[in-house]
Amino acid sequence: MTEGVLLKGYGGFYYVYAEDRVWDCSLRGRFRIKDQDFLPGDRVKILPKEDNKATIEGVEPRRNALTRPAIANVDLALLVFALTSPKPDLNLLDRLLIQVTVAEIEPIIVFTKLDKFNETTSTIIGFEEHTITDVYRKIGYTVFEVSNETGQGIDEVKLQLADKVSVLAGPSGSGKSSLFNALSPGKELKVGEISTKSKRGRHTTRHVELMVCAGGLVADTPGFSSLFLPNIKRAELTDFFPEFNERRQQCRFNSCLHDKEPDCAIKAALESGEISASRYEHYRIFLQEVIEAERRY
């Protein structure tokens, strides 16, 4: 028996990476009877046969799993956003940070199109967006700025992927497929174009598949532009805003939600410029969504 990682599966065919090669696998009968679902990233045991064929004999419990994208046992989530064309959707970025943190996956933020982010662009976008990389670094997140065209910053990202299962997530047009191509030359993924009318990307990835990349396994996932928050309570929301943690104990009320309450240390930090205005605004938006979800359930 050999242990491996499921790369993809469709139409009753499964492809498993083990012993530095890909095995064409079928399911043992008991799995078909149980109608068990399999996800890319599942750790499986296979029984090799001839001609790179094998049967899946066992599957290990999942450490974690995402539903969008549908993938299991993820170590890293590379949250990919363009610095320009399209303008970065920081609301979506903050949603994704919450989602992957809930799933106990380490987030890494990758801002692409550094080569297009020149002085003219930064003037059009505005000062706050020009310093967004510093905002997230200050909070404590790992942040990279890269150019898929020139290769700037790519080697630093590669070092993060070795021996890990990683997922590329972010909106269409952010450069996920181009980033994968830069990280793994010779394994080209189709690159989408930006719609000149909407300034949004066109979906180029249709299914989830793990591929060997930079010494690890990486999934290029379908693009999306909206995402619901996971099922969390209002009092838990501040746990996903690290810049709030060291200050919330200074609030007048222990139950402070940092919204309309008086003597709030978070709002004081906002007024003094210690906390990003966009991050705080997203917190308030998310708080209302969480409260509405609590009322429904």
**115 labelled ligand-binding:** yes
For residues 111 and 21, membership in a common domain is answered with: no
Question: What's the CA gap between 282 and 280, in Å, rounded?
Answer: 5
N-to-C CA span, the chain? 46
Whether 213 has a binding-site annotation, put simply, is: no
Q: How many CA atoms lie within 13 A of 200 on its CB side?
A: 11
256 is in an annotated binding site: yes
pLDDT of 31 over the 90 cut? no
Same domain, 71 and 54: no
Is 166 marked as binding a ligand?
Answer: no
* Average model confidence (pLDDT) across the chain: 84
- Indicate if 210 and 73 belong to the same structural domain: yes
Q: What is the DSSP string of 74-119?
A: --EEEEEEESSSSPP-HHHHHHHHHHHHHTT-EEEEEEE-GGG--H
Q: Please indicate if the annotation marks 178 as binding a ligand.
A: yes
264 marked as binding residue: yes
Could you tell me if 266 and 124 lie in one domain? no
Tell whether 226 is in a known binding site. no
Using an 8 Å Cβ cutoff, are 218 and 161 in contact? yes
User: Are residues 132 and 245 both part of a single domain?
Assistant: no
Residue 92 sits in the same domain as residue 210: yes
Tell me whether residue 112 is annotated as binding. yes
CATH number for the domain harbouring residue 31: 2.40.50.140
226 inside domain = no
The answer to whether residue 267 sits within a structural domain is yes
Average pLDDT score over residue span 156-171:
92
The answer to the question of whether 175 is labelled as a binding residue is: yes
C-alpha 229/C-alpha 100 separation (Å) is 11
Report the percent of the chain where pLDDT is more than 70.
Answer: 82
Residue 290 above 90 pLDDT?
A: yes
Query: Is 51 annotated as belonging to a binding site?
Result: no
Residue 25 annotated as binding site: no
201 labelled ligand-binding: no
**14 with 104, same domain?**
no
Please choose, from the candidates 243, 239, 191, 183, the residue with its C-alpha nearest in 3D space to the C-alpha of residue 211.
183
Would you say residue 228 lies in a domain? no
Of 22, 42, 59, the residue that ends a domain is 59
d(CA 135, CA 128): 9
124 and 11 co-located in one domain: no
Q: Which of 4-8, 83-87, 129-133, 268-272 has the lowest mean pLDDT?
A: 129-133
pLDDT of residue 205: 41
Residue 252 located in a structural domain: yes
Quickly list H helices, the chain.
Answer: 29-34, 90-102, 119-125, 127-130, 132-139, 154-161, 176-183, 242-245, 265-271, 277-296
Say whether 176 counts as a known binding-site residue.
yes
Task: Give the domain extent around 283.
Answer: 234-296
Do the domain assignments include residue 227?
no
**In this structure, are 107 and 242 located in the same domain?**
no
31 assigned to some structural domain:
yes
My answer on whether 74 and 208 are in the same domain is: yes
Residues 6+ apart with CB under 8 A from 15: 6, 7, 8, 9, 22, 23, 24, 25
One domain for residues 269 and 139: no
For residue 241, give the CATH number of its domain: 1.10.40.50
- Higher pLDDT pick, 222 / 119: 222
Output 56-65 pairs: Cβ under 8 A, ≥24 positions apart: 56/14, 56/16, 56/25, 56/26, 56/27, 56/28, 56/31, 57/1, 57/28, 58/1, 59/31, 63/104, 64/103, 64/104, 64/105, 65/39, 65/41, 65/103
The answer to the question of whether 4 is labelled as a binding residue is: no
pLDDT at 194 over 50: no
pLDDT value of residue 70: 81
**Would you state the pLDDT for residue 294?**
87
Q: What is the mean pLDDT of residues 212-218?
A: 91
Annotated ligand binding at 113? The verdict is: yes
Mean pLDDT of 200-222: 70
Q: Mean of the pLDDT values across residues 155-171?
A: 92
Does residue 275 lie in a domain region?
A: yes
- Among residues 220, 245, 261, which one ends one of the domains? 220
Nearest to 156 by CA among 116, 118, 110: 110
281 shares a domain with 190: no
Number of domains in the chain: 3
Rounded Cα distance between 3 and 57, Å, is 10
Tens digit of each residue's pLDDT (9 = 90 or more) over 59-111: 999 999 887 678 899 999 999 999 988 888 999 999 999 988 998 999 999 99
